[in-house]
């Protein structure tokens, strides 16, 4: 059974701090990785995708991938109260299927 | 481009009834996936359709079924509803469903089974 694991949180950080969200996956053959943000009562929206080892930056967001350790993370710099949401890690499982973690709830305290 | 649309947005049903949910993908997207989201289980994959064919299916009972039409619109059906089927049902579309493509989610249908 392929799995994606995330700490459910809540992860609380003060405004302006760096929030670090982590995700591990079980399928060593996975090639595509995604971070989605989901506000309460809303549907997930894509923040970033990453396919190669290393860092990928987009504005205040940085995704980090380490395939050897089967680990993907999302850093949010200068966290804002509007970043408070649940962050979902998704892994491409091949055969037209994606596996999602249960999400980490982030609270940014003003 | 218009986003993924789902109808209806909210549904209340009673146990034993059946329900049909609809999803219209982004124009040009031919892959539609369905997910069930519950507080305890997170987002769980139901099935994926492409060109009117189901290409993959998650671990759900046969009461959950779906189909896709020639215009890529998709429907899912749940028969003999159970209390545990109460959830947010999300559909997501992508151009071809190949590994690595971003999936774009619709707003979801919130189903409450009483």
The pLDDT value given to residue A53 = 95
The pLDDT value given to residue B40 = 78
Mean pLDDT, residues B40-69 taken together:
93
Share of chain B above pLDDT 70, in %: 99
Chain B hits for A93, CB-CB cut-off 8 Å, are 99
* B2 confidence band (pLDDT: 50, 70, 90): confident
Contact assignment for A100 to B48 by CB distance below 8 Å: no
| CA distances to A96, B32, B78, B105 from B22, in Å | 20, 11, 12, 13
Name residues whose C-beta falls within 8 Å of residue A44's C-beta, 6 or more positions apart in sequence: A36, A37, A38, A88, B43, B90, B105
| CA distances to A91, A105, B26, B97 from A94, in Å | 9, 27, 22, 10
Distance CA A76, CA A67 (A): 21
Distance CA A79, CA B51 (A): 42
Residues B45 and B54 sit within 8 Å (Cβ to Cβ): no
SS3 of residue B98 by DSSP:
coil
Instruction: Give yes or no for residue B1 having a pLDDT over 80.
Output: no
Chain A to chain B Cβ contacts (< 8 Å): 61
SS3 of residue B84 by DSSP:
helix
* Nearest-CA distance B66 → chain A (Å): 16
* B83 confidence band (pLDDT: 50, 70, 90): very high
> Which residue of B42, B106, B108 is in closest CB contact with A101?
B42
Instruction: Give yes or no for residue A93 having a pLDDT over 90.
Output: no
Of the two residues A93 and B79, the one the predictor is more confident about is B79
Nearest to A22 by CA among A3, A40, A9, A31: A9
Chain B hits for A37, CB-CB cut-off 8 Å, are none
Nearest to A92 by CA among A6, A29, A24, A21: A29
Q: What DSSP character marks residue B83?
A: G
The pLDDT value given to residue A9 = 86
Beta bridge partners, B7, equal B22
């Amino acid at each position: 059974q392929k799995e994606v694991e995330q700490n459910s949180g809540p992860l609380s950080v003060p405004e302006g701090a760096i929030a670090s969200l982590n995700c591990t996956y079980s399928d060593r053959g996975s090639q595509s990785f995604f971070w989605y943000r989901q506000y309460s009562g809303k549907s997930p929206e894509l923040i970033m995708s990453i396919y190669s080892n290393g860092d990928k930056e987009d504005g205040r967001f940085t995704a980090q991938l380490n395939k050897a350790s089967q680990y993907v993370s999302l850093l949010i710099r200068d966290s804002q109260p509007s970043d408070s949401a649940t962050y979902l890690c998704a892994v491409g499982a091949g055969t037209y299927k994606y596996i999602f973690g249960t999400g980490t709830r982030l609270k940014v305290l003003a | 481009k218009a986003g993924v649309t789902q109808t209806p947005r909210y549904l209340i049903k009673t146990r034993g009834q059946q329900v049909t949910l609809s999803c219209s993908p982004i124009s040009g997207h031919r892959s539609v996936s369905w997910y069930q989201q519950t507080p305890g289980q997170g987002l769980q994959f139901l099935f994926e359709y492409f060109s009117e064919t189901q290409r993959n299916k998650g671990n759900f009972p046969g009461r959950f079924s779906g189909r896709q039409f020639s215009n890529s619109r998709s429907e899912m059906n749940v028969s003999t509803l159970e209390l545990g089927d109460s959830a947010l049902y999300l559909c997501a579309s992508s151009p071809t469903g190949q590994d690595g493509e971003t999936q774009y989610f619709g707003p979801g249908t919130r189903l409450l089974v009483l």
